Structure 1
């Protein structure tokens, strides 16, 4: 597939997510072989690092694969990656070190607030299904495209600091993620962060509805520059304003 959200896009997303030093790096063995338009296909070879104490493929590793690969599939549907609302895996057949495994993830439905994606893992040499899983993802993006992304959320207790206000670290995480979604809508490689800055202007409390508006200011050959504002939905008052510079030269 040669569309802007095809295989090259999927490889860029997978490369970024598996090389950023987070838990996602444990699936850097996964090689994308096809996909686009809501689908992601790939494979990996089982190594000792993937095994449980009984010598079989670790259930937690399978769940991480299902989580990530279904997210790649969803993003190729021109949807943002969302956050997991439900993740499930059924384990059918054991595999051993050296086995080659194929994963095929498909977006079943992508609505305004929820997306449903499933995934099948098969052993390459005989086509045996070893596991089947899927997830529902919360994807409340309200607008965007062409370098823009608008989203909203309701402040919950887990978003608060000890003083009962919106946590500064959580705000910075939102600036990081939503500006990245805006960048990828151009489309552009998601890149890696060079600088993130946030100015905190007004508190937000539990139950407040917050709108996040991110825009791509400029995307050059090496760097992309983005800005983001968080506002109270009820009166449009400015809560925080941030900026994000990303290195995007991964050709």
Structure 2
């Protein structure tokens, strides 16, 4: 399955699964494959801190967690049975994403080992390409890595 098609399918499964991933319903993946993806979304009230007009840090972290896992699943050199389990997520916030602002989310797979994957994500203003937040994500993938046939 092509990377973009796979990524869109994985996102749909996450959204239907409920939990916090249901908040990803507004995310649109525009590019995916080779362990990377690009997505976009408009920041809405439901994404914001209480009584604030900017995206809550938990929403940014959800984007990093979920979209980096989907990017990992599109890596061409490995085949994963699942996206693994988070060991560490580190976030750095540079500027608030405002309600109504369109953001780009760029996720990439930096390295995949036999048991651990290292991933990174940038959240940028779509209008200015200004970096708003970035996250690094370490995932335990255990014995899930198999050579692609």
User: Which TM-score band applies after superposition, normalised by the shorter structure?
Assistant: 0.7 to 0.9
Identify if the C-alpha distance between structure 1 residues 205 and 139 changes in structure 2 by more than 3 Å, giving closer, same or farther. Answer: closer
Q: What do the CA deviations read for 1:103-125 (whole angstroms, capped 9, x no partner)?
A: xxxxxxxxxxxxxxxxxxxxxxx
Larger radius of gyration: 1
2:49 match: 161
2:63 match: 174
**Residues in 1 aligned to 2:49 and 2:11: alpha-carbon distance in whole angstroms:** 26
1:192 match: 85
2:120 touches 2:137 (CA, 8 Å); kept in 1? yes
Q: Bigger relative contact order, structure 1 or 2, given CA contacts below 8 A and separation 6+?
A: 2
**Residues in 2 aligned to 1:195 and 1:138: alpha-carbon distance in whole angstroms:** 25
* Structure 2 gaps, min length 5: 17-24, 145-149
When the two structures are superposed, what TM-score results if normalisation uses the length of structure 1? 0.47
2:126 match: 233
Instruction: Point out the structure with the larger helix share.
Output: 2
Q: CA deviation at 1:138?
A: 6.5
Find out whether 1:245 has 2:138 as its counterpart: yes
**Residues in 2 aligned to 1:210 and 1:141: alpha-carbon distance in whole angstroms:** 12
* Structure 1 gaps, min length 5: 6-36, 38-74, 85-136
**Residues in 1 aligned to 2:27 and 2:103: alpha-carbon distance in whole angstroms:** 15
Q: How many residues align?
A: 126
Q: CA deviation at 1:139?
A: 6.4
**Residues in 1 aligned to 2:115 and 2:108: alpha-carbon distance in whole angstroms:** 18
Identify if the C-alpha distance between structure 1 residues 232 and 138 changes in structure 2 by more than 3 Å, giving closer, same or farther. Answer: closer
When the two structures are superposed, what TM-score results if normalisation uses the length of structure 2? 0.77
Q: CA deviation at 1:144?
A: 1.4
Find out whether 1:222 has 2:115 as its counterpart: yes
Identify if the C-alpha distance between structure 1 residues 150 and 172 changes in structure 2 by more than 3 Å, giving closer, same or farther. Answer: same
Aligned structure 1 segments of 4 or more residues deviating by more than 2 angstroms: 79-84
The alignment's C-alpha RMSD in Å is 2.1
**Residues in 2 aligned to 1:195 and 1:231: alpha-carbon distance in whole angstroms:** 22
Find out whether 1:81 has 2:14 as its counterpart: no
Instruction: Point out the structure with the larger strand share.
Output: 1
